[in-house]
């Protein structure tokens, strides 16, 4: 498949492994963002990370030398909160395992925290997970709480290498409770529809840029959006052969996009 990225009107971009690893900005990221703005491209950073709010993501990029306004960010925490709000329009309760970005999104969607008899157990990325949390979450799910994961990522890229992500953290709760989680975030089509709506472009005028075959690229394939796999994160060129689908284009990093 041959596509010309410079002709695309809208870009849906992942962040981890695409723009940065942890607190280290990746080569070419600044040039790519400058190209987007200089050419009046519509773009959104659609991240499966649930740890930070759009304000915090903006501040993180500012520390790396990138000035991107808040309206260009959408997270799996926001997608999770919006989904749960649609299920409980009059408000609900949740037991949350995650960072402030997730709790804040749920509060803003009308949910309150409840560790006794919540409607939902919601799990996102966190470094604070302990056995007591797993035990409580398991018992709550066994008693009827619905199990929700902010994203289905098993691992994620960091400065030190690949580290456990949400699906790894939620797995003990699934196994012990006998209940499967429902995952928001990519490749859930709800996330992709929101991204396109925020961009205001048609499928054929957009592309998704990501580093994972199992979330970013499959999300684009299933949403009929052209896909750009960058090799700066999770997926290597050899890994591509393991999947029954292919990205539209493969690049070393986002710095190659302006010339593609």
- Report H helices in 88-206: 100-108, 131-142, 166-177, 189-199
Give me the catalytic one of 16, 119, 153, 216.
16
Q: Which two tokens stand for residue 204?
A: 């054929």
Would you report the helix, strand and coil content of the chain in percent, each value rounded to 5? 40, 20, 35
Nearest-angstrom CA–CA distance, 253 and 205: 21
Decide if 14 is catalytic: yes
Bond preceding residue 191 cis, omega within 30 of 0: no
Report phi then psi at 226, rounded to 5. -60, 145
Cα-based torsion angle of the residue sequence 30, 33, 35, 39 in order, rounded to the nearest 10 degrees: -160
Beta bridge partners of 121: 95, 147
C-alpha to C-alpha distance for 61 and 67, rounded to whole angstroms: 7
Strand (E) or helix (H) holding 86: helix 76-87
| Count of H-run helices and E-run strands, the chain | 8, 15
Alpha-carbon distance of 244 to 224, in angstroms, equals 16
Catalytic residue among 14, 119, 211, 256: 14
What separation in angstroms does the CA of 19 have from each of 123, 136, 192, 222?
A: 25, 36, 19, 24
Could you list the active site residues? 14, 16
């Amino acid at each position: 498949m041959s596509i010309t990225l410079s002709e695309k009107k809208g870009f849906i971009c992942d962040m981890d492994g695409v723009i940065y690893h942890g607190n280290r900005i990746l080569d070419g990221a600044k040039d790519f963002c400058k190209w987007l703005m200089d050419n009046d491209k519509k773009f959104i950073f659609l991240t499966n990370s649930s740890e930070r709010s759009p304000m915090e993501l903006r501040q993180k990029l500012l520390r790396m030398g990138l000035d991107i306004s808040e309206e260009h960010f959408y997270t799996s925490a926001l997608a999770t909160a919006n989904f749960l709000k649609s299920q409980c329009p009059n408000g609900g309760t949740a037991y949350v395992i995650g960072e402030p970005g997730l709790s804040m999104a749920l509060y803003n969607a009308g949910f309150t925290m409840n560790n006794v008899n919540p409607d939902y157990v919601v799990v996102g990325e966190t470094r604070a997970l302990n056995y007591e949390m797993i035990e409580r979450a398991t018992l709550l799910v066994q008693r009827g709480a619905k199990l929700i994961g902010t994203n289905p990522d098993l691992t994620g890229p960091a400065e030190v290498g690949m580290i456990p992500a949400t699906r790894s953290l939620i797995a003990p709760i699934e196994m012990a409770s006998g209940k499967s989680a429902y995952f928001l975030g990519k490749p859930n089509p709800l996330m992709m529809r929101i991204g396109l709506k925020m961009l205001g472009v048609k499928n054929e005028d957009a592309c998704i840029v990501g580093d994972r075959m199992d979330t970013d690229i499959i999300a684009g394939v299933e949403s009929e959006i052209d896909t750009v796999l960058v090799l700066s994160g999770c997926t290597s060129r050899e890994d591509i052969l393991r999947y029954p689908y292919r990205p539209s284009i493969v690049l070393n990093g986002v710095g190659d996009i302006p010339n593609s």
